[in-house]
Structures are given as C-alpha cells and as structure tokens.
C-alpha cells in the first residue's frame, strides 16, 4: 500500500516532531516510524532520519538549557520517563565526565536515552557547540542505521513477508524486553 502524496508531504514534519518529543520527555524512539517507511522506501526513510535528528537536536538544546537553568526540576521530569532511574542519570554523568562527547555516540547504540545526555551535559556546563556536533551526528547515524537495517531485513526476507504487522510486533516485543530489563 503506497502512501498518498499528501501523507508523504507531512512525514518530515511528523519525523521532526517525533525526534523532538523523544529527545525530551517522550519514550518511543523515532526509529519506529523510520522502520515502517524503510520497509518500502529506504531513500525516504534516510531523508526522514535527518528530520528526526533535527527534532532531537532541538529537544537536546531545550533539555540542556532547562538543565542549566533549573537542574533539579529538569532531572525530576526526566526521572518520570519510563525506564529512566536516578542510577542511570548518575551513570551518564560519570560517562560524560570520563569520555566527553564520545559517551553520546556510545549511548545512541546502547539504549541509553538521549535526553539524559542533554540533561547531564547542561548540568556539567560543557560546550553547546560540542554537544550540537555530537548530537546531530550520533542521532542521524543511529536513525539511518535503523532504517538501513529494516530495509535490508525486508529485502532479504521479502517485503510481502515482512508486513507492517510484523514490524509492529517487532516494536512491541522490543519495548516489552527493553522495559523489563531497564531499571525503574
């Protein structure tokens, strides 16, 4: 089933908003949307990955500034997000202190929410420009990798065998496992 042209035009906006939401206080990653699109159109999914990364970048900046202006309130809000605990926040703070911007890249592939890096980066008073660079690169690479992986799986197994329902089931199982293994 092909998306109508009108729906295709709104997808960049949806990807941007999803990146913005997940980079702040939402907890479902934009990779969900990107993998659905990548099933049939990798080029479009890669294009949407850029919009999701830009949304995440804006969220990162907002979280960083919130952290700098009122860390306790920002941290409390982030702690309310499912699968985020004070221990995880402290772990990210220690990683940033030891590894700097490289911790952001590592976090993007290990399931540690980006919003924690923005929160702690702001609290630690590190440079916004370094955060900007690391965020844009790490978020885009992660989103694009999800799209490429989804497209590769669909082409290998067969597009008809990997329906939208199969992708939905994958994400439900993914989040069930993620939440069951995360410290709350």
Q: Backbone phi, then psi, for 26, in 5-degree steps?
A: -85, 160
Burial class (CB in 10 A: 0-12, 13-18, 19+), 110: exposed
Query: Residue 125 to residues 8, 10, 90, 153: CA-CA distances in angstroms?
Result: 40, 37, 15, 42
pLDDT at residue 3, rounded to an integer: 61
pLDDT at residue 1, rounded to an integer: 46
Q: 67: closest CA among 89, 85, 88?
A: 89
- Enumerate residue ranges in the chain where pLDDT < 50: 1
């Amino acid at each position: 089933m092909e998306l109508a042209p009108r729906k295709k035009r709104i997808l960049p906006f949806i990807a941007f908003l999803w990146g913005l939401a997940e980079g702040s206080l939402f907890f479902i990653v934009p990779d969900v949307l990107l993998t659905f699109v990548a099933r049939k159109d990798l080029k479009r999914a890669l294009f949407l990955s850029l919009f999701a990364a830009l949304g995440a970048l804006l969220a990162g900046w907002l979280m960083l500034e919130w952290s700098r202006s009122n860390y306790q309130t920002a941290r409390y809000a982030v702690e309310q997000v499912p699968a985020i605990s004070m221990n995880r926040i402290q772990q990210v703070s220690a990683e940033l202190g030891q590894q700097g911007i490289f911790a952001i890249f590592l976090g993007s592939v290990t399931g540690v929410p980006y919003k924690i890096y923005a929160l702690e980066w702001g609290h630690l008073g590190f440079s916004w420009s370094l955060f900007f660079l690391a965020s844009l690169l790490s978020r885009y690479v992660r989103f694009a990798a999800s799209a490429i992986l989804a497209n590769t799986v669909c082409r290998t197994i067969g597009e008809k065998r990997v329906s939208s329902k199969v992708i939905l089931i994958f994400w439900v199982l993914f989040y069930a496992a993620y939440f069951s293994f995360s410290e709350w």
